[in-house]
Amino acid sequence: MRVLGIETSCDETGIAIYDTEQGLLAHQLYSQVKLHADYGGVVPELASRDHVRKTLPLIQAALKQAQLTAQDIDGVAYTAGPGLVGALLVGSCIGRSLAFGWNVPAIAVHHMEGHLLAPMLEENPPEFPFVALLVSGGHTQLVRVDGIGRYQLLGESVDDAAGEAFDKTAKLMGLDYPGGPRLAAMAEKGNESTHQFPRPMTDRPGLDFSFSGLKTFAANTIASSDGSAQALADIARAFQDAVVDTLVIKCRRALEQTGLKRLVVAGGVSANKHLRTQLTEFTQRIGGQAYFPRPEFCTDNGAMIAFAGAQRLVAGETTDIQIKTYPRWPLSELLAPQG
């Protein structure tokens, strides 16, 4: 089955074609970073309008890349949530309309399920069951995964997500949008012994996260510094170390609690080099393994939506003609395919 995947949940337009026998056939991505940079963050209305302009041309580019025509597509998968409602509507309307016009089934995909399954696109995919750390600008969650649609939420952020805290702290440091990757690059030049930031919620049991207080601690440290490049690099290093250590501690607890040794890490922050190194070393020490998507599939992309949608379409699951979007859509509400 060849599935066209459409991702328009926020500020990236992602289109891909996935074949259940041959794998990924095409992958197209357009980022709106330059569009939103002047505003210091995503402007929902501008994001929606840009998706309108870019989605169909990218679909045409993906078909050309795969050397296919519309008649070769067997199903359409589109992100229905969570995300920005206007942006979701663009992809959902286009995806559902194309499926209707091409007379093929459509499937509404959960954005975080796409991220969770993104490592399945790699040559060495993880086997079920595993623990997944979903870590991005909007979500920080630990999930036990026993199969597609068989998810148990173990813990989540009670305030700012890790990626959100990265971006907000970067903005306090005067870094341009998107700040998270810029802060991580600056941290490489920082001295690890200059500052010691707290590891929030690690002094108590449980698997929930909280990063807003860490952001405030960073803000106070920035305000009391001399503002030099080295001072900011030292703060960036301390902040990143605190976030990564916190995530590692919680992942260790989750694996101990579930008795599992396979850890999947996905979402935008999973591209962070320091996080990858620490989690890889930790899982190796316990005789386990950490799995990550390739960097281009850490951020929002159409490949993960095409793959996730294909798994459900193959099982016989489809979405009816009525177009619905879910700006807030708990992962726990997903059900396993019945096929």
Binding residues for substrate: 134-138, 167, 180, 272
Q: For residue 97, give the 3-state DSSP assignment.
A: helix
Distance CA 152, CA 183 (A): 32
CB-based burial label for 69 (10 Å; 0-12, 13-18, 19+): exposed
Which residues fall in the annotated binding site?
Answer: 111, 115, 134-138, 167, 180, 272, 300
Kindly provide the b/e burial profile for residues 162-179, where b requires at least 16 CB atoms within 10 angstroms of the residue's own CB. bbbbbbbbbbbbebebbb
Could you list the residues known to form a binding site for Fe cation, using ranges. 111, 115, 300
Give the span between the Cα atoms of 152 and 145, in whole angstroms: 7
Tokens, residue 288: 């386990």
Determine the length of the chain.
339
Strands 289-291 and 262-266 turn out to be parallel
71: burial class by Cβ within 10 Å (0-12, 13-18, 19+)? exposed
Q: Which residues pair with 110 in a beta bridge?
A: 81
SS3 call for 231: helix
